[in-house]
Amino acid sequence: MVTTISIPRTTASKILLKKALLACGLISSLYYIAINILVPLFYPGYSHITYTISELSAIGSPTRQLWLWLGPFYILFFAAFGWGILKVARDNHPLRIAGILILVYSIINFYWPPMHVRGTETTMSDTLHLVWGGIASIGMIMMMGFSAAAFGKKFRIYSITTIVLLLVFGFLMSLEAPNIPTNEPTPLIGFWERLMLGVFLLYISALSVKLINRESLPSGK
């Protein structure tokens, strides 16, 4: 005789909501990749290898308004992911802190002081842009650090590897960054930045899928 377990409709709806929120982590990464492919199409002469992502929204760039329209949706997806983490963290305190950090990161990055196009005199906005970049980098590393502490050995190794790659690519990017205001060559700055963000987006996608699978198991374990 087969016993059928009936799940109350309200419980099923809550589970579905949690999974939808957690899926926003993967969606946010895919969306960010998509707009980084789309927006440069409207910037004549833009190079993914020699130009930074921030130059797509720089003051004076032809894609600034388009980025301002499309960019915030990434933050909304990412914030929804953070909220989803809080809803499934339960007594896992490192995971709860990771969710809080994602929400704080989203709030801070909803407005990012813009830089100016290359060859333009540096202003306070450009300086604050660099400050925001530093805060964002620290936030990314902290998110991964607490996420690593929330799970087992394999995920911790993956987290540490990702953090190391972030630091390496970020350092290589910083070597060319001073050449942007003076409009000097930056042969690989966009390449290094996209590798840096790529490993982060991949990490968020992996965390998203891991949490969704975790919620599919009995008792969410």
DSSP 8-state assignment for residue 48 = T
Say if 4 falls within a structural domain.
no
208 located within any domain = yes
- Rounded to 5°, the CA angle 152-19-142 comes to 45
Q: In this structure, are residues 180 and 186 in contact, taking their beta carbons and an 8 Å threshold?
A: yes
Residue 2 resides in a domain: no
Measured distance CA(62)–CA(74) in Å, rounded:
20
Cα 35 to chain centroid, rounded: 13
In a domain, 187, yes or no: yes
Q: Per-residue pLDDT for 219 more than 80?
A: no
Domain around 37: 14-220
**Which tokens sit at 80?**
């929804």
**Total number of domains in the chain:** 1
Examine residue 126 and state whether it is found in any structural domain, yes or no. Answer: yes
User: What's the gap between Cα 103 and its chain centre?
Assistant: 11
User: Under a CB-based contact definition with an 8 Å cutoff, are residues 186 and 50 in contact?
Assistant: yes
3 in a structural domain: no
Contact 190, 176 (CB under 8 A): no
In a domain, 41, yes or no: yes
Instruction: Read off the tokens for 68.
Output: 């301002």
Q: How confident is the model at residue 121 (pLDDT cuts 50, 70, 90)?
A: confident
8 lies in some domain:
no
Mind listing the pLDDT tens digit for each residue in 176-206? 998 988 889 999 999 999 999 999 999 999 9
Q: Which two tokens stand for residue 87?
A: 């809803």
Quick: pLDDT tens for 20-70.
999 999 999 999 999 999 999 999 999 999 999 999 999 999 999 999 999
The pTM assigned to this predicted structure is 0.89
Q: CB of 193 within 8 A of CB of 53?
A: yes
Instruction: Find, among 136, 144, 132, the residue nearest to 202 by Cα.
Output: 144
198 token code pair: 């790529």
Could you tell me the two tokens for 150? 């929330």
Which pLDDT tens digit goes with each residue over 129-166?
Answer: 989 989 999 999 999 999 999 999 999 999 999 999 99
Two structure tokens written together for 218: 């009995």
